[in-house]
Amino acid sequence: MIVRLAPIAVSACLLGTPGPVSAQQVEILDDGFVWDLPDWLPPPPVPPDNPMSAAKVELGRHLFFDARLSVDGSTACSTCHDPALAFNDGRTFSDGVGGARGHRNAQGLANVGYSPMLTWANPVLRSLEAHALTPLFGDVPVEMGNIGQEQALFERLRADARYRDLFAEGFPERGGEVSLFTLTRALAAFQRTLVSADSPYDRYKYGGDGSALSASAKRGEGLFFSEKAECYHCHQGFNFTDTFATSRSGFDEIAFHNTGLYDVDGAGSYPAIDQGLYRFSADPRDRGRFRTPSLRNLAWGAPYFHDGSADTLDEVLDHYAAGGRLITDGPDAGDGSRNPLKNPLVLGIRFTAAERIDLLAFLDSLNDPGFVANAALADPWPEGHAASVDRRQAALGTARGAAGRTDRSALLPGLVAACLFLLSLVALLRARSAMRSNDDPLTRDSPARDSLDKHPSRS
Amino acid sequence: MNPSSLCRAASLAPVALSAIAAVLLSAHAGADDRTDTTALSLTFAAEVGGRPFACGRQYANVGLTDGDIAFADFRLFISEVALVDAAGRRVPVRLADDGRWQDGQVALLDFEDGTDRCDNGTPPVNSRVSGRAPAGDYTGIEFVIGVPFESNHGDPTLAGSPLNLTSMFWNWRGGYRFMKLDMMPVGETALAGTAMSSEEGAAMEHGSTTHGSGHGSGHGSGHGAAAGAWMLHLGSTGCRSASRTTAPDAPCAQPNRVMVSFDDFDADTDLIVIDPAAVLVDSDLQRNAPDTSPGCMSFPGDADCASVLPRIGLAYGDVVGDRQQLMTVRRDAL
């Protein structure tokens, strides 16, 4: 059915722009599942072994917000992908259990189902199902800390009567089993519903509402899509990235670019802690190459870049205006604009002050408050439940991170910080003893386990 | 009524859409099943100066370039395929719709395989264009390098394949890149050369005339990694619309669709060779004309295009189009 019906809709509209996807058609594509999508947007690709169902999505939503998915009950997926922040976490680097520190900036999950490759630069992480193993079981860096502890994880979930029903309804063909298969499939199914397509720009461009955008944002759009700014060569299409696929795509498009953020050795290198694609390919030409991030919901996405090294969009524009970032001192000193591995279209842009305002107005029009407020994507757990009680600390951390961006003096009182520190210490000890006891070859050899954070933070 | 509003209207009327789809489907099936139609397949090959194209390969003596070049992309769209009979009558070929390479109207030729410098591309490759035409006695073939105007100006990520490839897209006003040949100087001379073109690019944007020196110092890696590139992007220019993401109502001033025709052509035995070397004979791929896009991106006023586009058969500025020299027929090569 998939191959038959989709081309018909396309051929019917070959003479025009997007062919419509009717709800009726979508229903046929996904075993009765009805996507909550505007009619102009094709659904994301769905792997054959994980067809969508409302029950599976609902299970996935419960799992996504369940801190018991972490080894110490402290950290849910939503800790680093908070719906209130468009599924970002507002921090420079994301923290794992026990105070473990990553060295990358968490990306927002809006439209993540349309990304045929996950994380900033791991070319082999090609599905949300496979990706789920990384935060659950990865130990480099530790995120949720379950390495070797999957049976304990399954037991925690089985012990909750609510999950008995949810797994049974989500996976009737598997007798409602709690396993790596069902866990990762449900999480992936839920994440495919994280669609942000109702920003003012969407209403203007796809919904035909000419008043949805200010005159300044319209001028900014023109600049964005111009040969002067060249932004759109990488930030292309519905999700403003050239790593993209829909259920209609004949190909997965995946692209990595070095944008000249650094040049620490005059030969193209980024700081050794994170050289992007190079870590996987070992090809020196891949130093500093990262996947193009979407530009949607940037209002909740600060700080920016793979390492969170720009606090504001103004700083991001400064970087592109200069055709690369100049760092004058410190270990990362170098002129990124002369990085020999830089994408040749990052040439530098001479903005006027007015053009800069216009471009920011355009980027602002890509923010989707309805996505942030979408009740269908919200935390399903009641107040005080074990699934959510511990991650309240994490929520405090989020608030602190968000506040720190605008007013670093407004940190939480020292007392609370000290409590958090003590709790982290306890959690760290627990996580360590857990990790020592059992080592899982499944995740040990997985290239998905990205990036050792042995190095001191640069921030 | 512009095309997008046509589609939107259609989406409001699923019943009407289904009816249209049903008609299209039956017409399509009917054409394919008719015994008096014949299958046709055109076979293409990509070469550079007579050597087979490969993403990892370095090519010497391309145009005026002093040093080797390599490719990061080699893709192009083909449409409006027609057979020509002995009387000069033109009979359209109905392209197949395979959901990937061809959508019934446009076909993508894709010679990059996602390896080496082409790794922002896609692993599958395609060197054939196939369809059906009424049975007959044909002597020649015609086709266009490009996308028909009617399909050229939508949002690619919402279209069907192959028109949903973001990498083949400019913007809605300008439409698709009809051809995308991304080249770069490599090897020992590459660093100095590409640093120059990169700086010229920066100078163009900043309006600065300051040129530094000493780019090569300290670059001991020897990988010849190129910051600069020389891209040959063919596409429509001079398109007028309300904004860059609005489709134009009228054809663009320079459509830049290339009509290619070969007399005395036998699709069963003849190979069509695509070789950019002949159109680049006057180009130095280590240099980019100041104040222009890297290479030739079809835009007016780019000296890098002045010798290139006419050799693809297109007029450019004051220069009249020559015969196209991008594609040639190699007889009995299949």
Which residues, numbered 373 to 392 in chain A, qualify as contacts with chain B under a Cβ-Cβ cut-off of 8 Å? Answer: none
Q: Are A293 and A278 in contact (CB under 8 A)?
A: no
Question: Is B160 within 8 Å of A19 when comparing Cβ atoms?
Answer: yes
Q: What is the DSSP letter of B108?
A: E
Beta-carbon-side half-sphere exposure of residue B82 (alpha carbons within 13 Å) = 13
Tell me, yes or no, whether A69 and A214 share the same domain. Answer: no
For the four alpha carbons of A136, A138, A140 and A146, in that order, the dihedral sign comes to: positive
3-class DSSP state of B201: helix
Q: Does A459 touch chain B (CB under 8 A)?
A: no
Write down the pLDDT at residue B198. Answer: 33
- Of A73-77, A303-307, A413-417, B207-211, which gets the smallest average pLDDT? B207-211
Give B-chain residues touching A121 at CB under 8 angstroms.
none
What are the φ/ψ torsions at residue B116 (nearest 5 degrees)?
50, -130
Place of tokens 């949810």: A166
Q: What is the ipTM of this complex?
A: 0.73
Residue B201 in contact with residue B294, Cβ under 8 Å?
Answer: yes
Q: pLDDT class for A439, splitting at 50, 70, 90?
A: very low
Alpha-carbon span A82 to A91, nearest angstrom:
11
User: Is residue A450 domain-resident?
Assistant: no
Task: From A321, A340, A370, give the residue that closes a domain.
Answer: A370
Extract the tokens encoding B79. Answer: 């449409």
Q: Given this model, what pLDDT does residue A393 score?
A: 55
In angstroms, the separation between the Cα of residue A322 and the nearest Cα of chain B is 9
Give yes or no for residue A449 having a pLDDT over 60: no
Report the phi/psi class of residue B306: left, alpha or beta, with left for phi > 0 and alpha for psi in -120 to 50. Answer: alpha
Average of per-residue pLDDT across A331-339: 96
Contact B156, A237 (CB under 8 A): yes
Which residue in chain A has the smallest CA separation from B217?
A266
Nearest alpha carbon to residue B234 among B61, B57, B66, B73: B73
Provide the pLDDT confidence category of residue A423 given band limits of 50, 70 and 90: low
DSSP annotation of B97 reads B
- What the block records as the tokens of A392 is 């309240």
Mean pLDDT over the full length of chain B: 81
pLDDT, one tens digit per residue, over B129-159 is: 999 999 999 999 999 999 999 999 987 777 8
* Average pLDDT of span A291-313: 97
A63 pLDDT more than 90: yes
Using the predicted structure, report yes or no on whether residue A200 has a pLDDT greater than 50: yes
Interface of B with A in 97-116 (CB under 8 A): 97, 99-101, 103-105
Please identify among residues 8-47 of chain A the ones whose CB lies closer than 8 Å to any CB of chain B.
8-20, 22, 24, 39-42
- Per-residue model confidence as pLDDT tens digits over A222-281: 999 988 888 999 999 899 999 999 999 999 999 999 999 999 999 999 999 999 999 999
Say if A101 falls within a structural domain.
yes
CB B81 within 8 A of CB B129: yes
Q: Which two tokens stand for residue A274?
A: 């994170």
pLDDT of residue B83 exceeding 60, the answer is yes
Asked whether residue A409 is assigned to any structural domain, the reply reads yes
- The answer to whether the Cβ–Cβ distance between A7 and B97 falls below 8 Å is yes
Q: Give the gap in angstroms from C-alpha B247 to the nearest C-alpha of chain A.
A: 9
User: Does residue A227 sit at the B interface (CB-CB below 8 Å)?
Assistant: yes
Q: Under an 8 A CB cutoff, do B3 and A39 touch?
A: no
**Cβ partners under 8 Å of residue A93, min gap 6:** A101, A102, A103, A104, A105, A307, A308, A457, A459
- A-contacting residues in B 9-68 (Cβ below 8 Å): 10-11, 14, 17, 20-21, 24-25, 28
Say which residues have a Cβ less than 8 Å from residue B284's Cβ, sequence separation at least 6.
B63, B64, B65, B66
Q: Who contacts A36 (Cβ-Cβ below 8 Å, separation ≥6)?
A: A193, A195, A376
Beta bridge partners of B258: B145
Predicted confidence at residue B141, as pLDDT, reads 97
pLDDT at A415 over 90: no
Whether the CB of B228 is below 8 Å from some CB of chain A: the reply is yes
Paired tokens of B187 = 């090897």
CB within 8 Å of B300: residues ≥ 6 apart: B237, B238, B254, B316, B317
Per-residue pLDDT, B35 = 60
Which residues of chain B are within 8 Å of residue A222 when distances are taken between CB atoms? 243-244
Cβ of B227 within 8 Å of Cβ of A3? The answer is: no
CB A18 within 8 A of CB B7: yes
Q: What are the residue ranges spanned by the domains of chain B? A: 1-33, 37-330
Closest CA in chain A for residue B149: A15
- Chain A partners within 8 Å of B8 (Cβ): 20, 40, 208
Q: By the CB < 8 Å criterion, does A338 face chain B? A: yes
- Is residue A417 one of the residues assigned to a domain? yes
Q: Does A232 map to a domain?
A: yes
Q: Are residues A318 and A403 in the same domain?
A: no
Same domain, A226 and A347: yes
Enumerate the β-bridge partners of residue B129: B42
Q: Is the pTM higher than 0.80? A: no
Could you tell me if A85 and A225 lie in one domain? no
A26 is a domain residue = no
Q: Do A344 and B229 touch (CB under 8 A)?
A: yes
Contact A267 B221 (CB under 8 A): yes
Question: Which residue in A18, A338, A349 is closest to B158 by CB distance?
Answer: A18
Q: What is the CA radius of gyration of chain B?
A: 21
- Looking at the structure, tell me whether residues A220 and A365 fall in a common domain: yes
A291 belongs to a structural domain: yes
Q: Does A250 share its domain with A358?
A: yes
Tell me the CA distances in angstroms from A283 to A85, A287, B116, B314, one per residue in order.
36, 8, 9, 39
Distance between B19 CA and the closest CA of chain A, angstroms = 10
User: Hey, is the C-beta of B7 within 8 angstroms of any chain A C-beta?
Assistant: yes
Residue A31: the pLDDT is 62
Nearest of A205, A369, A341 to residue A278 by alpha carbon: A341
pLDDT over 60 at A428, yes or no: no
Determine contact: A127 vs chain B, CB below 8 A.
Answer: no
By the 8 A CB rule, do A338 and A347 touch? no
Of B89, B110, B94, B112, nearest to B41 by C-alpha is B94
Under an 8 A CB cutoff, do A20 and B8 touch? yes
Examine the domain organization and report whether A139 and A281 are in the same domain. no
A87 with A115, same domain? yes
Is A392 found in the same domain as A349?
no
CATH code of the domain covering residue A96: 1.10.760.10
Distance (Å, whole) CA B295 – CA B279: 13
| Residue A85 distance to chain B (closest CA, Å) | 26
Residue B247 contacts A where some CB pair is shorter than 8 Å: yes
Average pLDDT over every residue of A110-129: 96
In a domain, A33, yes or no: no
Distance of CA A54 to the CA centre of its chain: 22
Cβ–Cβ below 8 Å for B202 and A348: yes
Collect all residues of chain B within an 8 Å Cβ-Cβ radius of residue A10.
103, 159-160
Give pLDDT tens digits for A32-62.
Answer: 899 999 999 999 999 999 999 999 999 999 9
If DSSP codes are grouped into helix, strand and coil, which group holds residue B131? strand
Q: Which residues does chain A have within 8 Å of residue B167's beta carbon, measured at their own beta carbons? A: 236, 242, 253, 255
Question: Residue A160 — left, alpha, or beta (φ > 0 → left; ψ -120 to 50 → alpha)?
Answer: beta
Query: Is residue B65 scored above 80 in pLDDT?
Result: yes
pLDDT at B26: 39
- B164 close to A (CB below 8 A): yes
Residues in B closer than 8 angstroms to A285, CB to CB, are 117, 223, 225
Minimal Cα distance from A25: which residue of B? B14
Q: Same domain, yes or no, for A395 and A365?
A: no
3-state helix, strand, coil in chain B (%, to 5): 20, 30, 50
Place of tokens 């040639």: B328
φ, ψ for residue A56 (rounded to 5)? Answer: -70, -40
Cα gap A259→A272, rounded to integer Å? 16
Burial class (CB in 10 A: 0-12, 13-18, 19+), A211: exposed
**Residues B119, A256: C-beta atoms closer than 8 Å:** yes
Residues A360 and A393 in one domain: no
Q: pLDDT band at residue B245, thresholds of 50, 70 and 90?
A: confident
A45 DSSP 8-state letter = P
Domain count, chain A: 2
Are both A136 and A226 inside the same structural domain?
A: no
Condensed to tens digits (0 to 9), the pLDDT of residues B296-332 reads 999 999 999 999 999 999 999 999 999 999 999 999 9
- Cβ neighbours of A237 in B, within 8 Å: 155-157, 166, 169
List the helix and strand counts (H, then E) for chain B: 5, 16
**Does the CB of A239 have a partner CB in chain B at under 8 Å?**
yes
Write down the pLDDT at residue A383: 86
Q: Is B24 in contact with A12 (Cβ distance < 8 A)? A: yes
3 state DSSP class of A371: helix
In degrees to the nearest 10, what's the CA dihedral of A191, A196, A197, A201?
A: -160
Instruction: Locate A35 and state its tokens.
Output: 């996507």
Chain A residues with CB under 8 Å of B206 CB are: 348, 350
CA nearest A50: which of A198, A157, A180? A180
Domain span holding position A153: 54-194+381-444
**Which residues in A lie closer than 8 A to residue B195 (C-beta atoms)?**
338, 340
pLDDT at B279 over 80: yes
Q: What percent of chain B has pLDDT over 70?
A: 78
Domain limit, last residue, from A341, A370, A399: A370
Tell me the one-letter amino acid at B154. Answer: G
pLDDT score at B188: 55
Tell me the pLDDT tens digit for each residue of B159-190: 899 999 989 988 888 899 999 999 999 875 44
Structure tokens at A118: 């996950």
Confidence check: pLDDT of A421 > 80: no
Closest CA in chain A for residue B125: A251
